[in-house]
């Protein structure tokens, strides 16, 4: 019998491959997409440009960006049968509807079974363009309204908000959504990208790998945190009540404060500062400063956790931004997926480019050599 292998529970600190997509330094709080600082991208870029950067590996020229933008705009419309599927499953959670709709899209994509680089890029662009249409169409359908067809004269972020509300968003709202998508676009071997890579590593197709990613994102320890944070803010109700809330939660060690802590960042998540600024600015301009004030009060109560490396993550302020944009809480996870889709596709492309089946081991901890007892003697 072989000797016991060392355990890497949760694959913590395991480096499973190389990547050129994102660089993360969790001790210094650094995040780069293809070498570019998240802070520069947040300040100067657009989601469309970040999509190009991630999928094609470099910043686009003006013409390259215009061409990608045109392809994305042209690919926004869903096949009618996929809208029918959304109608059928409309009572499900929006992230489950997104997962189901992506599965259904595989039946209509001309490239589903084509694993060539060009085909995977075409599918990546199409899924990036189709995601917002799915989420917005579902939200309209479940409210008894007809889906709003996408507008090809609006940016990716503005068109999403337009399809949700049926009217064009303010520049401030569109910019907040665009920023959110940029910040969520890519993040190394996070749980959902890892899961997508596992599926891709079996030489399965892109749609299947993305379905895996969506299912993995759903959990509150990953993409579900923003929704949980806003639920918490609503429950707290006013900044003065934050102290009692945090103390009460801490009585049970299993009760984590959502939006805090990260597997990789042991200092503040570099993405959080941009959502913090946006949450504050939006709250002030919409005369709803209380949400930011409540979150700030929670952050203050959590100060003592900093010495344990637990700081706010990107999702701590994201929920309040979505809430201020008038977005229902159960759309927060799908919105994370809308931002993350180019990152998932990029990770899958990297996996396919130099593939090896991802297949770790488990250490068996059960009994050995038990005597089989026939059913009639048990
Ligand atoms: N509140 C209170 N304590 C916490 C928190 C938190 N949010 N996060 C971690 N801790 C504590 C744990 O209780 C544990 O304490 P212990 O060692 O005394 O038992 C210690 O910190 C380490 O926690 P682990 O769960 O082992 O760390 P891990 O790296 O596995 O967890 C995770 C990372 C899952 C994100 C965790 O911090 C958490 O549950 N956070 C809340 C959920 C959340 O905000 N998720 C979003 C992550 S960001 C994203 O997906 C974009």
Q: Rounded to whole angstroms, how far apart are CA atoms 49 and 350? A: 19
The per-residue pLDDT for 20 is 97
pTM of the model: 0.95
| Closest ligand 1 atom to Cα of 313 | 48
Q: How far is the CA of 261 from the centre of ligand 1 (A)?
A: 5
Catalytic status, residue 187: no
Kindly compute the dihedral angle of the four CA atoms of residues 25, 21, 221, 141, in this order, to the nearest 10 degrees. 150
The per-residue pLDDT for 1 is 59
Q: How far is the CA of 221 from the centre of ligand 1 (A)?
A: 8
Catalytic hit among 39, 93, 222, 243: 222
The per-residue pLDDT for 2 is 61
Catalytic status, residue 63: no
Strands 36-37, 30-33: pairing kind? antiparallel
Contact 98, 85 (CB under 8 A): no
Q: Rounded to whole angstroms, how far apart are CA atoms 136 and 229? A: 22
The per-residue pLDDT for 249 is 85
* Residue 20: partners with Cβ closer than 8 Å, 6 or more residues away: 34, 57, 350
**pLDDT tens for the 378 residues of the chain, in order:** 566 678 999 999 999 999 999 999 999 999 999 999 999 999 999 999 999 999 999 999 999 999 999 999 999 999 999 999 999 999 999 999 999 999 999 999 999 999 999 999 999 999 999 999 999 999 999 999 999 999 999 999 999 999 999 999 999 999 999 999 999 999 999 999 999 999 999 999 999 999 999 999 999 888 988 899 999 999 999 999 999 999 888 887 778 898 999 999 999 899 999 999 999 999 999 999 999 999 999 999 999 999 999 999 999 999 999 999 999 999 999 999 999 999 999 999 999 999 999 999 999 999 999 999 999 999
| Closest ligand 1 atom to Cα of 314 | 51
Contact 157, 174 (CB under 8 A): yes
Q: How far is the CA of 258 from the centre of ligand 1 (A)?
A: 8
Catalytic status, residue 365: no
């Amino acid at each position: 019998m072989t000797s016991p292998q060392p355990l890497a529970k949760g694959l913590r600190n395991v480096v499973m491959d190389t990547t050129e997509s994102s660089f993360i330094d969790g001790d210094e709080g650094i995040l780069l997409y293809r070498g570019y600082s998240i802070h520069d991208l947040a300040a100067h870029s657009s989601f469309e440009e970040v999509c190009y950067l991630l999928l094609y590996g470099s910043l686009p020229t003006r013409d390259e960006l215009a061409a990608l933008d045109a392809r994305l705009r042209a690919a926004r419309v869903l096949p009618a049968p996929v809208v029918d599927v959304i109608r059928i499953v409309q009572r499900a959670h929006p992230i489950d509807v997104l997962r189901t709709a992506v599965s259904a899209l595989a039946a209509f994509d001309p490239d589903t079974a084509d694993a060539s680089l060009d085909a995977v890029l075409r599918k990546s662009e199409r899924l990036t363009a189709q995601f917002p249409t799915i989420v917005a169409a579902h939200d309209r359908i479940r409210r008894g309204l007809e889906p709003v067809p996408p507008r090809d004269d609006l940016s990716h972020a503005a068109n999403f908000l337009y399809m949700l509300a049926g009217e064009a968003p303010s520049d401030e709202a569109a910019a907040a959504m665009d920023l959110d998508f940029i910040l969520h676009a890519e993040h190394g071997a996070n749980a959902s990208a890892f899961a997508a890579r596992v599926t891709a590593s079996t030489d399965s197709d892109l749609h299947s790998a993305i379905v895996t990613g969506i299912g993995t994102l759903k959990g509150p320890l990953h993409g579900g945190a923003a929704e949980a944070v806003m639920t918490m803010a609503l429950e707290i109700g006013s900044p003065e009540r934050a102290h009692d809330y945090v103390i009460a939660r801490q009585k049970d060690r299993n009760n984590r404060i959502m939006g805090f802590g990260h597997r990789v960042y042991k200092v503040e998540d570099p993405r959080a500062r941009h959502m913090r600024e946006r949450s504050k600015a939006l709250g002030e301009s919409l005369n709803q400063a209380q949400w930011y004030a409540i979150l700030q009060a929670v952050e203050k109560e959590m100060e003592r956790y900093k010495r344990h490396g637990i700081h706010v993550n990107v999702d701590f302020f994201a929920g309040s931004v979505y809430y201020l944009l008038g977005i229902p809480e159960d759309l927060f996870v799908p919105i994370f997926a809308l931002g993350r889709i180019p990152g998932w596709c990029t990770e899958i492309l990297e996996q396919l480019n130099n593939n090896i089946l991802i297949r770790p081991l488990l250490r068996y901890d059960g009994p050995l050599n038990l005597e089989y007892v026939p059913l009639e003697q048990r």
